[in-house]
Amino acid sequence: MTLTGHSLIAGQAVAGSGKTAFGVNPATNERLDPAYSLITEEQLTTATSAAAAAYPSFSTLEPGTHAAFLDAIADNIEAIGEELIIRAGQETGLPAARLQGERARTTGQLRLFASVVRQGDFRGVRIDPALPDRTPLPRADIRQRQIPLGPVAVFGASNFPLAFSTAGGDTASALAAGCPVVFKAHNAHPGTGELVGQAVVKAVRDFGLHPGVFSLVYGPGASIGQALVADPHIKAVGFTGSQSAGIALMRTAAARREPIPVYAEMSSLNPVFVFQGALKGPADRIDALAAQYVTAVTGSSGQLCTSPGLLFAPEGEAGDKLAAAVARAVSGCAGQTMLTEGIAGSWHAGTRALGSADGVELLGQGTDGTAENAPAPAIFGTRVKDFVANHLLHEEIFGAASLVVRYGSTDELLQAAARMEGQLTASLQLTEEDYPTAAPLVPVLEQKVGRIIVNGWPTGVEVGHAMVHGGPFPATSDSRTTSVGTLAINRFLRPVAYQNLPQELLPAPLQDENAWGLNRRIDGTSVPASSLAGS
Protein backbone atom coordinates (compact mmCIF):
# COMPACT_ATOMS: atom_id res chain seq x y z
CA MET A 1 0.00 0.00 0.00
CA THR A 2 1.20 3.52 -0.79
CA LEU A 3 1.66 5.91 2.11
CA THR A 4 0.37 9.38 1.24
CA GLY A 5 1.61 11.29 4.27
CA HIS A 6 -1.83 12.92 4.54
CA SER A 7 -4.87 12.73 6.76
CA LEU A 8 -7.77 10.58 5.60
CA ILE A 9 -10.83 12.78 5.99
CA ALA A 10 -14.22 11.36 5.00
CA GLY A 11 -12.62 8.97 2.55
CA GLN A 12 -10.19 11.40 0.96
CA ALA A 13 -6.44 11.94 1.43
CA VAL A 14 -6.18 15.55 2.55
CA ALA A 15 -2.88 17.43 2.71
CA GLY A 16 -2.48 19.41 5.89
CA SER A 17 -2.01 23.16 5.82
CA GLY A 18 0.22 23.17 8.88
CA LYS A 19 3.71 21.89 9.56
CA THR A 20 5.06 18.43 8.75
CA ALA A 21 6.22 15.56 10.95
CA PHE A 22 8.11 12.33 10.39
CA GLY A 23 8.05 8.94 12.00
CA VAL A 24 11.37 8.09 13.68
CA ASN A 25 12.97 4.69 14.15
CA PRO A 26 13.71 4.69 17.91
CA ALA A 27 16.36 1.98 17.53
CA THR A 28 18.49 4.27 15.32
CA ASN A 29 16.91 7.72 15.75
CA GLU A 30 16.68 7.85 11.95
CA ARG A 31 13.83 9.69 10.25
CA LEU A 32 11.30 7.68 8.25
CA ASP A 33 9.63 8.80 5.04
CA PRO A 34 7.17 10.10 4.02
CA ALA A 35 6.69 13.43 5.70
CA TYR A 36 3.24 13.74 7.27
CA SER A 37 1.41 17.00 6.71
CA LEU A 38 -0.37 18.25 9.83
CA ILE A 39 -3.85 19.69 9.55
CA THR A 40 -5.01 22.95 11.05
CA GLU A 41 -7.98 23.44 13.35
CA GLU A 42 -9.98 24.77 10.39
CA GLN A 43 -9.35 21.55 8.45
CA LEU A 44 -10.33 19.48 11.47
CA THR A 45 -13.90 20.75 11.23
CA THR A 46 -14.25 19.02 7.86
CA ALA A 47 -13.74 15.67 9.59
CA THR A 48 -16.03 16.38 12.55
CA SER A 49 -18.78 17.82 10.32
CA ALA A 50 -18.62 14.73 8.11
CA ALA A 51 -18.88 12.51 11.19
CA ALA A 52 -21.99 14.37 12.30
CA ALA A 53 -23.48 13.98 8.82
CA ALA A 54 -22.75 10.25 8.87
CA TYR A 55 -24.42 9.67 12.23
CA PRO A 56 -28.10 9.39 11.16
CA SER A 57 -27.48 6.58 8.67
CA PHE A 58 -24.68 4.78 10.50
CA SER A 59 -26.40 4.78 13.90
CA THR A 60 -29.42 3.01 12.42
CA LEU A 61 -27.52 0.49 10.29
CA GLU A 62 -29.15 -2.94 10.04
CA PRO A 63 -27.24 -5.45 12.24
CA GLY A 64 -26.15 -7.81 9.47
CA THR A 65 -24.56 -5.07 7.41
CA HIS A 66 -23.13 -3.40 10.50
CA ALA A 67 -21.44 -6.60 11.67
CA ALA A 68 -20.15 -7.45 8.20
CA PHE A 69 -18.57 -3.98 8.03
CA LEU A 70 -16.57 -4.66 11.20
CA ASP A 71 -15.51 -8.05 9.86
CA ALA A 72 -14.39 -6.39 6.64
CA ILE A 73 -12.12 -3.99 8.52
CA ALA A 74 -10.44 -6.99 10.16
CA ASP A 75 -10.07 -8.71 6.78
CA ASN A 76 -8.56 -5.58 5.24
CA ILE A 77 -6.02 -5.21 8.04
CA GLU A 78 -4.90 -8.80 7.59
CA ALA A 79 -4.68 -8.26 3.83
CA ILE A 80 -1.98 -5.60 4.33
CA GLY A 81 0.35 -8.44 5.25
CA GLU A 82 3.93 -8.07 6.40
CA GLU A 83 4.12 -4.47 5.22
CA LEU A 84 2.17 -3.51 8.34
CA ILE A 85 4.45 -5.46 10.69
CA ILE A 86 7.59 -4.06 9.10
CA ARG A 87 6.43 -0.45 9.23
CA ALA A 88 5.16 -0.78 12.80
CA GLY A 89 8.48 -2.30 13.84
CA GLN A 90 10.41 0.55 12.23
CA GLU A 91 8.30 3.17 13.98
CA THR A 92 8.16 1.61 17.47
CA GLY A 93 11.17 -0.69 17.92
CA LEU A 94 8.79 -3.48 18.95
CA PRO A 95 9.74 -6.98 17.75
CA ALA A 96 7.83 -8.65 14.93
CA ALA A 97 6.42 -11.42 17.13
CA ARG A 98 4.88 -8.87 19.51
CA LEU A 99 3.39 -6.92 16.59
CA GLN A 100 1.99 -10.04 14.94
CA GLY A 101 0.26 -10.90 18.20
CA GLU A 102 -1.04 -7.36 18.46
CA ARG A 103 -2.40 -7.49 14.92
CA ALA A 104 -4.24 -10.71 15.81
CA ARG A 105 -5.67 -9.02 18.89
CA THR A 106 -6.79 -6.05 16.79
CA THR A 107 -8.60 -8.13 14.20
CA GLY A 108 -9.92 -10.48 16.87
CA GLN A 109 -11.59 -7.72 18.82
CA LEU A 110 -13.14 -6.28 15.64
CA ARG A 111 -14.66 -9.68 14.93
CA LEU A 112 -15.72 -10.03 18.56
CA PHE A 113 -17.62 -6.75 18.34
CA ALA A 114 -19.14 -7.92 15.05
CA SER A 115 -20.58 -10.87 16.98
CA VAL A 116 -21.88 -8.46 19.64
CA VAL A 117 -23.66 -6.45 16.95
CA ARG A 118 -25.23 -9.59 15.47
CA GLN A 119 -26.39 -10.83 18.88
CA GLY A 120 -27.81 -7.42 19.78
CA ASP A 121 -28.16 -7.48 23.59
CA PHE A 122 -26.13 -4.27 23.85
CA ARG A 123 -29.19 -2.44 22.51
CA GLY A 124 -30.83 -3.05 25.90
CA VAL A 125 -34.40 -3.32 24.65
CA ARG A 126 -36.99 -3.10 27.44
CA ILE A 127 -40.73 -2.98 26.90
CA ASP A 128 -43.33 -2.20 29.57
CA PRO A 129 -46.66 -2.82 27.77
CA ALA A 130 -49.56 -0.50 28.41
CA LEU A 131 -51.87 -1.39 31.32
CA PRO A 132 -55.01 0.65 30.54
CA ASP A 133 -57.05 -1.04 33.25
CA ARG A 134 -54.55 -0.58 36.06
CA THR A 135 -55.90 1.27 39.09
CA PRO A 136 -55.74 3.83 40.44
CA LEU A 137 -53.88 5.01 37.31
CA PRO A 138 -53.36 3.27 33.97
CA ARG A 139 -49.83 2.68 32.69
CA ALA A 140 -48.65 3.97 29.33
CA ASP A 141 -46.76 1.81 26.84
CA ILE A 142 -43.07 2.57 27.54
CA ARG A 143 -40.19 1.15 25.53
CA GLN A 144 -36.48 1.73 26.01
CA ARG A 145 -33.33 1.11 24.02
CA GLN A 146 -29.70 2.20 24.02
CA ILE A 147 -28.72 4.54 21.20
CA PRO A 148 -25.24 5.66 20.04
CA LEU A 149 -23.97 8.89 21.60
CA GLY A 150 -22.78 10.42 18.32
CA PRO A 151 -19.36 11.05 16.76
CA VAL A 152 -16.48 9.87 18.97
CA ALA A 153 -12.93 11.24 19.10
CA VAL A 154 -10.35 8.50 19.59
CA PHE A 155 -6.67 9.08 20.38
CA GLY A 156 -3.99 6.58 19.39
CA ALA A 157 -1.76 5.14 22.12
CA SER A 158 2.02 5.18 21.82
CA ASN A 159 2.56 1.70 23.27
CA PHE A 160 0.04 -0.22 21.15
CA PRO A 161 0.36 0.93 17.53
CA LEU A 162 -2.36 -1.54 16.48
CA ALA A 163 -4.54 -2.78 19.36
CA PHE A 164 -5.05 0.67 20.94
CA SER A 165 -4.63 2.71 17.82
CA THR A 166 -6.39 3.38 14.51
CA ALA A 167 -8.74 0.37 14.53
CA GLY A 168 -8.05 -0.66 18.11
CA GLY A 169 -10.38 -1.22 21.02
CA ASP A 170 -11.78 2.31 21.34
CA THR A 171 -12.44 2.63 17.62
CA ALA A 172 -13.88 -0.89 17.36
CA SER A 173 -16.26 -0.42 20.28
CA ALA A 174 -17.37 3.03 19.11
CA LEU A 175 -18.04 1.79 15.57
CA ALA A 176 -19.86 -1.25 17.00
CA ALA A 177 -22.08 1.08 19.03
CA GLY A 178 -22.97 2.94 15.83
CA CYS A 179 -20.81 6.01 16.42
CA PRO A 180 -18.72 7.57 13.62
CA VAL A 181 -15.08 7.99 14.65
CA VAL A 182 -12.60 10.81 14.15
CA PHE A 183 -9.25 9.28 15.00
CA LYS A 184 -6.30 11.41 16.09
CA ALA A 185 -3.22 9.51 14.92
CA HIS A 186 -0.23 9.20 17.23
CA ASN A 187 2.67 11.06 15.65
CA ALA A 188 5.14 8.40 16.83
CA HIS A 189 3.81 5.82 14.36
CA PRO A 190 2.16 7.75 11.52
CA GLY A 191 2.79 5.22 8.77
CA THR A 192 1.30 2.38 10.77
CA GLY A 193 -1.72 4.54 11.47
CA GLU A 194 -2.22 5.38 7.82
CA LEU A 195 -1.96 1.75 6.66
CA VAL A 196 -4.70 0.70 9.06
CA GLY A 197 -6.67 3.86 8.29
CA GLN A 198 -6.69 2.93 4.62
CA ALA A 199 -8.09 -0.49 5.57
CA VAL A 200 -10.96 1.15 7.47
CA VAL A 201 -11.68 3.62 4.67
CA LYS A 202 -11.82 0.77 2.16
CA ALA A 203 -14.44 -1.02 4.26
CA VAL A 204 -16.50 2.17 4.52
CA ARG A 205 -16.35 2.59 0.73
CA ASP A 206 -17.04 -1.05 -0.09
CA PHE A 207 -20.18 -1.09 2.06
CA GLY A 208 -21.46 2.16 0.61
CA LEU A 209 -21.52 3.88 3.99
CA HIS A 210 -21.37 7.63 4.46
CA PRO A 211 -17.66 8.54 4.16
CA GLY A 212 -17.82 10.50 7.40
CA VAL A 213 -18.10 7.23 9.36
CA PHE A 214 -14.31 7.32 9.77
CA SER A 215 -11.59 9.95 9.49
CA LEU A 216 -7.94 9.81 10.49
CA VAL A 217 -6.20 13.11 11.20
CA TYR A 218 -2.60 14.13 11.82
CA GLY A 219 -1.84 17.25 13.79
CA PRO A 220 0.08 18.74 16.71
CA GLY A 221 -0.97 16.75 19.75
CA ALA A 222 -1.82 19.65 22.04
CA SER A 223 -3.62 21.99 19.65
CA ILE A 224 -5.44 19.52 17.39
CA GLY A 225 -6.18 17.15 20.26
CA GLN A 226 -7.73 19.89 22.34
CA ALA A 227 -9.63 21.28 19.35
CA LEU A 228 -11.02 17.84 18.59
CA VAL A 229 -12.36 17.39 22.14
CA ALA A 230 -13.77 20.92 22.12
CA ASP A 231 -15.53 20.49 18.77
CA PRO A 232 -19.32 20.56 19.30
CA HIS A 233 -19.88 17.68 16.87
CA ILE A 234 -17.92 15.30 19.13
CA LYS A 235 -20.02 13.55 21.78
CA ALA A 236 -17.45 11.34 23.59
CA VAL A 237 -13.70 10.70 23.77
CA GLY A 238 -11.60 7.53 23.99
CA PHE A 239 -8.01 8.05 25.15
CA THR A 240 -5.06 5.93 26.28
CA GLY A 241 -1.94 7.75 27.41
CA SER A 242 -0.33 9.79 30.14
CA GLN A 243 -2.14 11.12 33.17
CA SER A 244 -1.26 14.73 32.37
CA ALA A 245 -2.61 14.50 28.81
CA GLY A 246 -5.73 12.65 29.90
CA ILE A 247 -6.55 15.20 32.58
CA ALA A 248 -6.03 18.04 30.09
CA LEU A 249 -8.60 16.45 27.75
CA MET A 250 -11.00 15.90 30.66
CA ARG A 251 -10.82 19.58 31.57
CA THR A 252 -11.50 20.65 28.01
CA ALA A 253 -14.48 18.30 27.76
CA ALA A 254 -15.90 19.51 31.08
CA ALA A 255 -15.53 23.17 30.10
CA ARG A 256 -17.56 22.83 26.90
CA ARG A 257 -20.99 24.40 26.55
CA GLU A 258 -22.16 20.78 26.32
CA PRO A 259 -19.81 18.72 28.52
CA ILE A 260 -19.05 15.25 27.18
CA PRO A 261 -17.61 12.06 28.71
CA VAL A 262 -13.90 11.30 28.37
CA TYR A 263 -12.96 7.66 28.78
CA ALA A 264 -9.27 7.95 29.54
CA GLU A 265 -6.98 5.11 30.54
CA MET A 266 -3.96 6.68 32.21
CA SER A 267 -1.45 5.58 34.87
CA SER A 268 -1.27 2.39 36.92
CA LEU A 269 1.31 0.60 39.11
CA ASN A 270 -0.48 -2.79 39.13
CA PRO A 271 0.73 -3.96 42.53
CA VAL A 272 1.62 -7.60 43.19
CA PHE A 273 1.20 -8.94 46.75
CA VAL A 274 3.36 -11.95 47.67
CA PHE A 275 2.31 -13.97 50.72
CA GLN A 276 4.42 -16.31 52.84
CA GLY A 277 2.96 -19.49 51.43
CA ALA A 278 4.00 -18.57 47.91
CA LEU A 279 7.64 -18.61 49.04
CA LYS A 280 7.52 -22.12 50.48
CA GLY A 281 7.97 -25.43 48.74
CA PRO A 282 10.54 -26.57 46.18
CA ALA A 283 13.97 -24.94 46.32
CA ASP A 284 13.54 -23.33 42.91
CA ARG A 285 10.12 -21.85 43.67
CA ILE A 286 11.46 -18.47 44.73
CA ASP A 287 13.72 -18.25 41.68
CA ALA A 288 10.78 -19.07 39.42
CA LEU A 289 8.61 -16.41 41.07
CA ALA A 290 11.38 -13.82 40.72
CA ALA A 291 11.91 -14.70 37.06
CA GLN A 292 8.18 -14.37 36.33
CA TYR A 293 8.08 -10.97 38.02
CA VAL A 294 11.10 -9.66 36.14
CA THR A 295 9.67 -10.96 32.85
CA ALA A 296 6.42 -9.07 33.54
CA VAL A 297 8.38 -5.90 34.39
CA THR A 298 10.65 -6.00 31.33
CA GLY A 299 8.32 -7.35 28.62
CA SER A 300 7.94 -4.85 25.77
CA SER A 301 10.52 -2.76 27.64
CA GLY A 302 7.99 -2.30 30.43
CA GLN A 303 5.79 -0.17 28.19
CA LEU A 304 2.55 -1.92 29.05
CA CYS A 305 -0.29 -0.34 30.99
CA THR A 306 -0.39 -3.49 33.13
CA SER A 307 3.33 -3.80 33.84
CA PRO A 308 3.81 -4.42 37.61
CA GLY A 309 5.43 -1.34 39.11
CA LEU A 310 5.12 -2.59 42.69
CA LEU A 311 5.76 -5.92 44.40
CA PHE A 312 5.01 -6.34 48.11
CA ALA A 313 7.19 -9.04 49.68
CA PRO A 314 7.27 -10.16 53.33
CA GLU A 315 10.16 -9.36 55.59
CA GLY A 316 12.25 -12.24 56.87
CA GLU A 317 14.43 -14.93 55.34
CA ALA A 318 12.05 -15.96 52.57
CA GLY A 319 11.50 -12.37 51.51
CA ASP A 320 15.25 -11.76 51.55
CA LYS A 321 15.73 -14.73 49.23
CA LEU A 322 13.07 -13.38 46.88
CA ALA A 323 14.70 -9.92 46.77
CA ALA A 324 18.07 -11.52 46.03
CA ALA A 325 16.55 -13.68 43.30
CA VAL A 326 14.92 -10.62 41.74
CA ALA A 327 18.27 -8.83 41.74
CA ARG A 328 19.92 -11.79 40.00
CA ALA A 329 17.15 -12.10 37.45
CA VAL A 330 17.13 -8.45 36.45
CA SER A 331 20.93 -8.27 36.29
CA GLY A 332 20.80 -10.72 33.39
CA CYS A 333 18.39 -8.56 31.37
CA ALA A 334 19.42 -6.23 28.55
CA GLY A 335 17.48 -3.08 27.74
CA GLN A 336 15.00 -3.13 24.86
CA THR A 337 14.37 -0.21 22.55
CA MET A 338 11.70 2.09 23.93
CA LEU A 339 9.00 3.61 21.77
CA THR A 340 10.51 7.06 21.41
CA GLU A 341 13.53 9.05 22.51
CA GLY A 342 11.23 11.18 24.65
CA ILE A 343 9.76 8.17 26.47
CA ALA A 344 13.27 6.87 27.14
CA GLY A 345 14.21 10.27 28.54
CA SER A 346 11.21 10.24 30.86
CA TRP A 347 12.20 6.76 32.07
CA HIS A 348 15.70 8.02 32.94
CA ALA A 349 14.25 10.98 34.83
CA GLY A 350 11.81 8.77 36.72
CA THR A 351 14.37 6.18 37.77
CA ARG A 352 16.81 8.88 38.88
CA ALA A 353 14.13 10.42 41.08
CA LEU A 354 13.09 7.06 42.52
CA GLY A 355 16.67 5.94 43.16
CA SER A 356 17.50 9.14 45.05
CA ALA A 357 14.39 9.05 47.28
CA ASP A 358 14.84 8.51 51.01
CA GLY A 359 14.62 4.88 52.03
CA VAL A 360 14.99 3.54 48.47
CA GLU A 361 17.88 1.37 47.27
CA LEU A 362 18.73 -0.16 43.92
CA LEU A 363 18.19 -3.91 44.21
CA GLY A 364 19.49 -4.80 40.79
CA GLN A 365 19.92 -3.51 37.27
CA GLY A 366 20.53 -5.06 33.87
CA THR A 367 22.61 -3.68 31.02
CA ASP A 368 21.84 -1.17 28.32
CA GLY A 369 20.69 -2.60 25.01
CA THR A 370 22.82 -2.30 21.90
CA ALA A 371 20.33 -0.06 20.06
CA GLU A 372 19.41 3.52 20.84
CA ASN A 373 16.89 4.30 23.59
CA ALA A 374 17.32 0.92 25.30
CA PRO A 375 18.08 1.67 28.97
CA ALA A 376 19.01 -1.07 31.43
CA PRO A 377 16.00 -2.41 33.41
CA ALA A 378 16.11 -1.48 37.09
CA ILE A 379 14.35 -2.74 40.22
CA PHE A 380 14.46 -0.83 43.48
CA GLY A 381 13.63 -1.72 47.08
CA THR A 382 12.05 0.04 50.06
CA ARG A 383 10.00 -0.58 53.23
CA VAL A 384 6.29 -0.09 53.82
CA LYS A 385 6.80 2.89 56.11
CA ASP A 386 8.70 4.77 53.40
CA PHE A 387 6.18 3.78 50.72
CA VAL A 388 3.29 5.05 52.81
CA ALA A 389 5.06 8.30 53.69
CA ASN A 390 6.42 9.32 50.26
CA HIS A 391 3.99 9.92 47.39
CA LEU A 392 6.90 9.89 44.92
CA LEU A 393 7.04 6.12 45.41
CA HIS A 394 3.45 5.90 44.12
CA GLU A 395 4.21 7.52 40.76
CA GLU A 396 4.30 5.39 37.62
CA ILE A 397 7.55 5.02 35.72
CA PHE A 398 6.61 4.06 32.18
CA GLY A 399 9.16 1.45 31.23
CA ALA A 400 11.18 -1.40 32.69
CA ALA A 401 11.41 -0.30 36.32
CA SER A 402 9.68 -1.52 39.48
CA LEU A 403 9.78 -1.20 43.25
CA VAL A 404 9.88 -4.06 45.79
CA VAL A 405 8.20 -3.03 49.06
CA ARG A 406 8.93 -5.13 52.17
CA TYR A 407 6.12 -5.51 54.72
CA GLY A 408 6.16 -6.97 58.22
CA SER A 409 2.50 -7.70 58.95
CA THR A 410 -0.95 -7.93 57.42
CA ASP A 411 -1.82 -4.59 58.98
CA GLU A 412 1.08 -2.96 57.13
CA LEU A 413 -0.07 -4.56 53.91
CA LEU A 414 -3.61 -3.27 54.40
CA GLN A 415 -2.27 0.18 55.25
CA ALA A 416 -0.20 0.29 52.07
CA ALA A 417 -3.10 -0.89 49.91
CA ALA A 418 -5.43 1.68 51.43
CA ARG A 419 -2.97 4.49 50.64
CA MET A 420 -2.63 3.54 46.97
CA GLU A 421 -4.42 5.43 44.23
CA GLY A 422 -6.69 3.68 41.75
CA GLN A 423 -5.08 0.95 39.66
CA LEU A 424 -5.97 -1.24 36.72
CA THR A 425 -4.98 -4.47 38.46
CA ALA A 426 -3.78 -6.10 41.67
CA SER A 427 -2.24 -9.58 41.78
CA LEU A 428 -1.98 -12.00 44.70
CA GLN A 429 0.71 -14.69 44.82
CA LEU A 430 -0.41 -17.19 47.45
CA THR A 431 -1.27 -20.74 48.46
CA GLU A 432 -4.24 -22.13 50.36
CA GLU A 433 -2.56 -21.48 53.68
CA ASP A 434 -2.55 -17.75 52.84
CA TYR A 435 -6.31 -17.48 52.28
CA PRO A 436 -7.10 -16.22 55.84
CA THR A 437 -4.35 -13.60 55.55
CA ALA A 438 -5.38 -12.51 52.07
CA ALA A 439 -9.12 -12.36 52.79
CA PRO A 440 -9.08 -8.89 54.45
CA LEU A 441 -7.10 -7.50 51.51
CA VAL A 442 -9.64 -8.43 48.83
CA PRO A 443 -12.39 -5.93 49.84
CA VAL A 444 -9.75 -3.20 50.08
CA LEU A 445 -8.53 -3.99 46.58
CA GLU A 446 -12.08 -4.01 45.21
CA GLN A 447 -12.17 -0.30 45.99
CA LYS A 448 -8.81 0.30 44.32
CA VAL A 449 -8.64 -1.76 41.11
CA GLY A 450 -10.62 -3.05 38.16
CA ARG A 451 -9.17 -6.58 38.05
CA ILE A 452 -7.92 -8.85 40.86
CA ILE A 453 -5.63 -11.75 39.84
CA VAL A 454 -4.56 -14.79 41.84
CA ASN A 455 -1.31 -16.61 41.00
CA GLY A 456 -0.90 -14.82 37.72
CA TRP A 457 0.60 -11.62 36.38
CA PRO A 458 -1.25 -8.55 35.14
CA THR A 459 0.33 -8.42 31.68
CA GLY A 460 -1.62 -10.13 28.93
CA VAL A 461 -5.17 -8.76 28.89
CA GLU A 462 -7.71 -11.24 27.54
CA VAL A 463 -10.22 -9.69 25.13
CA GLY A 464 -13.57 -11.23 26.03
CA HIS A 465 -16.94 -10.72 27.62
CA ALA A 466 -15.92 -10.69 31.31
CA MET A 467 -12.70 -8.65 31.12
CA VAL A 468 -12.39 -5.31 32.93
CA HIS A 469 -9.55 -3.07 31.86
CA GLY A 470 -10.29 -0.05 33.97
CA GLY A 471 -10.21 1.12 37.55
CA PRO A 472 -10.63 4.09 39.87
CA PHE A 473 -8.89 7.38 39.08
CA PRO A 474 -6.13 7.89 38.03
CA ALA A 475 -6.06 4.49 36.37
CA THR A 476 -9.04 5.70 34.36
CA SER A 477 -11.27 8.74 34.28
CA ASP A 478 -14.43 6.69 34.84
CA SER A 479 -14.21 3.61 37.06
CA ARG A 480 -17.59 2.33 35.81
CA THR A 481 -16.18 1.40 32.42
CA THR A 482 -13.67 -0.83 30.66
CA SER A 483 -11.63 -0.17 27.53
CA VAL A 484 -11.13 -3.88 26.77
CA GLY A 485 -13.82 -6.52 26.24
CA THR A 486 -17.36 -6.37 24.94
CA LEU A 487 -18.57 -4.20 27.84
CA ALA A 488 -16.50 -1.37 26.30
CA ILE A 489 -19.37 -0.71 23.90
CA ASN A 490 -21.48 0.67 26.77
CA ARG A 491 -19.27 3.77 26.96
CA PHE A 492 -20.71 5.05 23.70
CA LEU A 493 -24.42 4.43 24.33
CA ARG A 494 -27.22 6.13 26.24
CA PRO A 495 -30.79 5.09 27.05
CA VAL A 496 -33.87 6.63 25.43
CA ALA A 497 -37.46 5.82 26.41
CA TYR A 498 -40.39 5.99 23.96
CA GLN A 499 -43.84 6.46 25.51
CA ASN A 500 -47.04 5.67 23.62
CA LEU A 501 -45.40 5.85 20.20
CA PRO A 502 -47.34 4.11 17.42
CA GLN A 503 -45.62 1.17 15.75
CA GLU A 504 -44.99 3.24 12.64
CA LEU A 505 -42.85 5.73 14.59
CA LEU A 506 -40.95 3.28 16.77
CA PRO A 507 -37.34 2.36 15.91
CA ALA A 508 -36.98 -1.16 14.51
CA PRO A 509 -35.58 -2.72 17.72
CA LEU A 510 -38.72 -1.66 19.64
CA GLN A 511 -41.42 -2.64 17.17
CA ASP A 512 -43.60 -5.62 18.04
CA GLU A 513 -42.51 -7.62 15.00
CA ASN A 514 -38.87 -7.59 16.25
CA ALA A 515 -37.48 -7.66 12.72
CA TRP A 516 -33.91 -7.53 14.03
CA GLY A 517 -34.43 -10.67 16.11
CA LEU A 518 -33.33 -9.23 19.44
CA ASN A 519 -33.59 -10.65 22.91
CA ARG A 520 -35.76 -8.24 24.88
CA ARG A 521 -36.97 -7.67 28.44
CA ILE A 522 -40.76 -7.41 28.41
CA ASP A 523 -42.47 -6.27 31.59
CA GLY A 524 -39.32 -7.21 33.48
CA THR A 525 -39.02 -10.71 32.04
CA SER A 526 -36.31 -11.75 29.58
CA VAL A 527 -37.89 -12.89 26.32
CA PRO A 528 -35.64 -14.63 23.77
CA ALA A 529 -35.82 -13.48 20.19
CA SER A 530 -37.51 -16.74 19.21
CA SER A 531 -40.51 -15.96 21.42
CA LEU A 532 -43.51 -13.89 20.43
CA ALA A 533 -43.15 -10.20 21.23
CA GLY A 534 -46.01 -10.06 23.69
CA SER A 535 -45.51 -13.42 25.40
Quick one: pLDDT at residue 409? 95
What burial letters (b/e) apply to 202-222, b meaning 16+ CB within 10 Å? bbbeeeebbbbbbbbbbbbbe
With beta carbons less than 8 A apart as the criterion, state whether 196 and 168 touch. no
Quick one: pLDDT at residue 221? 77
Choose among 9, 15, 11: nearest CA to 34.
15
User: Residue 289: is its pLDDT beyond 80?
Assistant: yes
Measure Cα distances from 109 to 72, 116, 175, 244, 526 in Å: 13, 10, 12, 28, 27
Whole-number average pLDDT of the chain:
96
User: Residue 363: is its pLDDT beyond 80?
Assistant: yes
Query: pLDDT digits over 451-494, tens only?
Result: 999 999 999 999 999 999 999 999 999 999 999 999 999 999 99
* pLDDT mean over 522-530: 92
Global pTM reads: 0.96
**62 noted as active-site residue:** no
User: Residue 533: is its pLDDT beyond 60?
Assistant: no
Residue from 265, 372, 412, 421 carrying the catalytic annotation: 265
DSSP single-letter state for residue 38:
P
Residue from 179, 194, 305, 396 carrying the catalytic annotation: 305
User: Residue 125: is its pLDDT beyond 70?
Assistant: yes
User: Residue 532: is its pLDDT beyond 90?
Assistant: no
Measure Cα distances from 110 to 12, 77, 209, 241 in Å: 23, 10, 18, 21
Q: Where in the chain is the domain with CATH 3.40.605.10?
A: 7-107+148-266+482-490
Quick one: pLDDT at residue 222? 82
Q: Where in the chain is the domain with CATH 3.40.309.10?
A: 272-454
Q: How confident is the model at residue 18 (pLDDT cuts 50, 70, 90)?
A: confident
What superfamily does domain 272-454 belong to in CATH?
Answer: Aldehyde Dehydrogenase; Chain A, domain 2 (3.40.309.10)
Omega before residue 136 within 30° of 0, cis: yes
Q: How confident is the model at residue 531 (pLDDT cuts 50, 70, 90)?
A: low
Q: How confident is the model at residue 1 (pLDDT cuts 50, 70, 90)?
A: confident
Least confident of 65-69, 221-225, 347-351, 469-473: 221-225
Better pLDDT: 92 or 1: 92
How far is Cα 6 from Cα 352, in angstroms, rounded to an integer?
Answer: 39
Better pLDDT: 535 or 396: 396
User: Residue 534: is its pLDDT beyond 90?
Assistant: no
**3-class DSSP string for 327-383:** HHHHHCCECCCCCCHHHHHHHHHHHHHHHCCCCCEEEEECECCCCCCCCCCEEEEEE
CA 462 to the chain's CA centroid: 12
**102 noted as active-site residue:** no
CATH number for the domain running over 7-107+148-266+482-490 = 3.40.605.10
* pLDDT mean over 54-73: 98
User: Residue 104: is its pLDDT beyond 80?
Assistant: yes
Choose among 489, 501, 507, 518: nearest CA to 148.
489
* pLDDT mean over 438-443: 97
User: Residue 68: is its pLDDT beyond 80?
Assistant: yes
User: Residue 293: is its pLDDT beyond 90?
Assistant: yes
